[in-house]
Structures are given as C-alpha cells and as structure tokens.
Amino acid sequence: MLAICTITNEPVNTKSVDLTLHIDTISTVKTDTTVSKLAVAVSTSVCLEKRRDLHKKFCLNDDSPIFRRNNKHMLFEDLEKYGYLVNPHAGLSPSGVKYGTPYIIQGLYSYHHYMQDRFDDNKWGCAYRSLQTLISWFRLQGYTEKPIPGHKEMQQVTSKIMFVSAGADLSSKGRELAQHFTTQGTPIMIGGGVLAHTILGVDFNDVTGDLKF
C-alpha cells in the first residue's frame, strides 16, 4: 500500500490567517500615492489592521504571507549561500506524456537527502528527508522562520493522507494530484513499504489518464 502525504497551506481559522499576515521587520512600502510605514510586530495581534490594510492596498489575498523576510526574492548569490540545493527540478526535460499538461510546485523548496547535515540516516531516513523538503517549502514561502526540524523533532505533522493499494493504481489519482499542485502548490511525500520520496509535480493528460511524475 502507498500513502501520499501532503501538508496544505490553507488557513483553517482566524488565528492562522493572522499568522500569515505577521510582519517581523520594519518595512517601508511605497506606491505612487501612498507610503505605509509598519513598526516591528512582536505578536500576531500587533498592527493587525495595518497589515490587513497593506494587503488591501496592493489587492493581495490574506491567506498567505507576503511581507516577511523569508519572502524576499532569492538572487543567484543568495542561492549559493543558502546551504542546500534550491529547486533542483528546474530545467528538467519534458516527461514525454503525449498532450500532457505539467502541474508542478509553486515557489521554492530545498532538497534534503540521506547523510545530510552530518547525520547518518542511510537506508532508513527517506521519509524524514522528504518531510524536511516539504517543510522547507513553507519556510521559503514565508509561512515560518523556524529552522527545518531534525529527525527527533519530526514526530507529529498535520497532513492529508491518500491511500492506493499499489503503485500501478497511482495513475487513478492523476486529476486529484493535478488539482493539488494547481491550488496548493506544495511538494508531496509518497511512501510504500520502507521507502519514501517526494513528488514535485505531475504531467497529466486528463483525456487518456496518462500520468508521469
């Protein structure tokens, strides 16, 4: 049996929406007619209305963070200093699905793998590394500034799990996976038996059902 785990970025209550609007640095945002100065916000309740107003002025949704330090654009020099490979899937050749449409992650993530960070998890740490990759997406999109957790810290996650009886049946989930990458844009962890890996996108033909990862 295969289990597919996704961590969504949909706010589930008012508190989570407040968190997405948290601004933790002094910012000055200029438009042609407006200069908005925001003080340091030490909690989600401080300057909440000003943060909401800033989103409204720029016609931005309030379901994802925009004005946080982790949302800064990463230049080539930033990527070199980051310490992990970022978006290594970029530039891959087409998968070969005839008339297929690619649905891939939105934004940045860092690639995590066996033996990284001087920690020996060879042959058993694949699920942990996949989860680190998922969490890195939330960090690089500005949802959190907490460091990516280690193996001992990753014991509980909130997730959606999809089950299929065998790998061959995964193609039946093509439309659902395409919908996930379109609406959520996060990586997906897939595991079966003692192995796990990360899905960064699918190439899907919604007429024939052909699917590649």
C-alpha angle 155/156/159, rounded to 5°? 135
**Which pLDDT does position 52 carry in this prediction?**
77
**Which pLDDT does position 177 carry in this prediction?**
92
pTM of the model: 0.66
**Which pLDDT does position 34 carry in this prediction?**
37
User: pLDDT by residue for the chain (213 residues), tens digit each?
Assistant: 455 555 555 543 333 333 333 333 333 333 333 333 443 343 444 556 777 788 888 888 877 777 666 667 777 777 778 889 999 998 888 888 999 999 999 999 999 999 999 999 998 989 899 999 999 998 888 888 888 999 988 877 667 777 877 777 777 888 999 999 999 999 998 887 778 889 999 999 988 889 998
Q: Are 59 and 52 in contact (CB under 8 A)?
A: no
At residue 16, the 3 state secondary structure works out as helix
Q: Are 43 and 52 in contact (CB under 8 A)?
A: no
